[in-house]
Structure 1
Amino acid sequence: MIQETRRTLASHTPVYFAGDRATDLVRVERGVVMVFNLFEDGRRQIVDFVTAGELLHFQFDGELDHYAEAITEVELVSAPSDAALSDPVWAEYIFQQMRGRLDRDRRHVTLLAQKSAAERLAEFLIIVSDRLSTPIGDIELPMTRQEIADYTGLTIETVSRLFSRWMRERRLVVTGKRTYRIEGALAA
């Protein structure tokens, strides 16, 4: 039996920093965590949003090369990397998580490299709806517009302009504080 450690963090609390030692694997039990890199000039590139049931990273030793911060209140479960790798159940889970992360990374690279601003933001909304298990067309966005911009490679002004246009055109309808419903084609 693997010794797991549970902890709860408030929203906007760092989970770990680049340079911290990678000794444990960390699974998100509840909430959303953003994984990102910082450039020397202060810019941030969000590389993933990690949701319930997913691992934050796959580094088993050495130093972490990225940052992680809770976007919402999160519950995290940590397990020692060496013990997890030798446990058949954890090993299978790690393998499944790696496959899922590779798929998400491919989608993210395509989003950044080949799509227009409207297509990037529309794809992001579909990804979030799918990842947070909301009904198709309904989206709960725990992240800010700046965080969305940092994930999609757009400016906050472009994200805000597209949101405003889509709401004005009734393609995107506000249904709550951070919830929306897609009513029409967004990337058109």
Structure 2
Amino acid sequence: MTIKETPRRFAKDAPIYFAGDAAGRLLKVACGAVMIFHIYDDGRRQIVDIVTEGELVHFQFDGELDHYAEALTQTTLIEASADAALSDQAWAEFIFAQMRGRLQRERRHIAMLGQKSAAERLAEFLILVSERLSTPLGDIELPMTRQQIADYTGLTIETVSRLFSRWTRERRLVVTGKRTYRIEGELAA
């Protein structure tokens, strides 16, 4: 069976879907990055994952989506019917592998939020972004604002800004461009 895959393009910061939208279409990142998040009743946002090239954005096959997705960078997604994908052996295996990878990342994120200091959270986030966006370890291109970083790490924007300022002043983190950095020393210390 051939699965019809439809490309969709999104500008940076464009919403991809909202909580409450109907599920049923699988979205795979062809290029770019997507952030997955929840919005609490009081307006606070918790970013729960960053989805990158070759990965599925969500795993909800029916019902309503329970989270939001936004293009973190200019992004192209491949859209396919969930029913067709589940009935295709190669797609079903791909979906299962994607679920395992997402579960591992979510466990790491939960441990970070629950047990680490502010400096450790931000240091781990920077390493994660370097890994997830395929930059050489130690070189980081940050497509996220400081507020988005705070929303991922469970910190305040003030804490994130204070740590960035301290680390750049101490030359542990060197600014190499508008949104690019190089890790030059131990950050979490």
- SS of equivalent residue, structure 1 residue 7: strand
- Identical positions, percent: 74
Output aligned runs, 1:23-42, within 5 Å.
23-42=24-43
Corresponding residue of 1:59 = 60
1: CA distance between counterparts of 2:52 and 2:161?
24
1:139 is aligned to 2:140: yes
Shift in Å, 1:92: 1.1
2: CA distance between counterparts of 1:163 and 1:96?
35
Query: One-letter code of the match for 1:146?
Result: Q
Shift in Å, 1:176: 1.0
Corresponding residue of 1:126 = 127
Shift in Å, 1:162: 0.2
Query: One-letter code of the match for 1:59?
Result: Q
Shift in Å, 1:88: 1.1
Corresponding residue of 1:101 = 102
- Would you identify which runs of 4 or more consecutive aligned residues in structure 1 move more than 3 Å? none
Equivalent residue pairs, number? 188
If the length of structure 1 is used for normalisation, what is the TM-score? 0.99
Output aligned runs, 1:39-188, within 5 Å.
39-188=40-189
Corresponding residue of 1:18 = 19
Deviations 1:118-163 (A, max 9, x none): 0000000011111111111101111111000000000000000000
- SS of equivalent residue, structure 2 residue 105: helix
Query: One-letter code of the match for 2:175?
Result: V
2: CA distance between counterparts of 1:32 and 1:155?
23
- SS of equivalent residue, structure 1 residue 99: helix
Q: Gapped runs of 5+ residues in structure 2? A: none
Deviations 1:81-127 (A, max 9, x none): 01001111111110110010001000000010000000000000011
- SS of equivalent residue, structure 2 residue 187: coil
Shift in Å, 1:168: 0.2
Q: Gapped runs of 5+ residues in structure 1? A: none
Query: One-letter code of the match for 1:118?
Result: A
- When the two chains are superposed, the root-mean-square deviation of aligned CA atoms in Å is 0.6
If the length of structure 2 is used for normalisation, what is the TM-score? 0.98
2: CA distance between counterparts of 1:80 and 1:33?
19
